[in-house]
Chains A and B, each alone.
Chain A
């Protein structure tokens, strides 16, 4: 059974703090993703990674950075948290099927971040 874990379920931070969200998957997936989910907007892709040390910007990368030093771990960093980054953050992973195709994504339980 695929398992994707995230470091925290709930997090409360203050404006200007640096925030680290960690994601670990145990299925040796090549691809990992960070999304945020807000009411009425659905899931929006922040960053994704095809492989160790590789990263690609998604639709809304501003204010975020990522790190993938090991295949199983993908970290999302908010350098200076702001109130508009209050959201549900979801990590996902998937196999890379080659030919530019990705397999279905498996999600972690999410981290609900509140920035005060």
Chain B
């Protein structure tokens, strides 16, 4: 079993749609959690951290469920510029484990 698993997609949605990604992780000792965004042929960049209480940043909402060991990302009112690959990241001590990413394409 992979340490961090994501549905690879692709998710193809129209502008304005709401889309949700889930991610599961295998190590219950994981300490912190992140969503990164990676544009085509670019490096990953931090989108947001994920806190136990859930957190929101504009149109983006992240949730963590430690009991079930999954993390989610919700994007409301999708924009064309949201098209990218979204990486789920789990911190295990001094290194991080990355999911393979979920590809999102937002269409006009």
- A contacts, CB < 8 Å to B: 31, 33, 35, 40-43, 45, 48, 50, 56, 58, 90, 96, 100-102, 104-110
The verdict on A104 contacting B95 (CB below 8 Å), with A43-B44, A90-B44 known, is: no
Give per-residue flags for B13-35: 1 if the beta carbon is below 8 A from chain A beta carbons, else 0: 00000000000000000011010
Q: Are B95 and A58 in contact (CB under 8 A)?
A: yes
The verdict on A45 contacting B95 (CB below 8 Å), with A101-B31, A107-B43 known, is: yes
Q: Which of B51-59, B62-70, B72-80, B98-106 contacts A (4 or more CB under 8 A)?
A: B98-106
A-B interface contact total, Cβ < 8 Å = 50
Q: Are B94 and A102 in contact (CB under 8 A)?
A: yes
Q: Are B94 and A100 in contact (CB under 8 A)?
A: yes
5 tightest A-B CB contacts, nearest first: A42-B100, A107-B43, A43-B98, A100-B93, A42-B98
C-alpha gap A35/B91 in the complex (Å): 15
19 pairs of residues in contact across A and B, judged by CB atoms under 8 Å: A35-B98, A40-B100, A41-B100, A42-B87, A42-B98, A43-B87, A45-B95, A48-B94, A90-B43, A101-B91, A101-B93, A102-B93, A102-B94, A102-B96, A104-B49, A105-B46, A107-B45, A109-B42, A109-B43
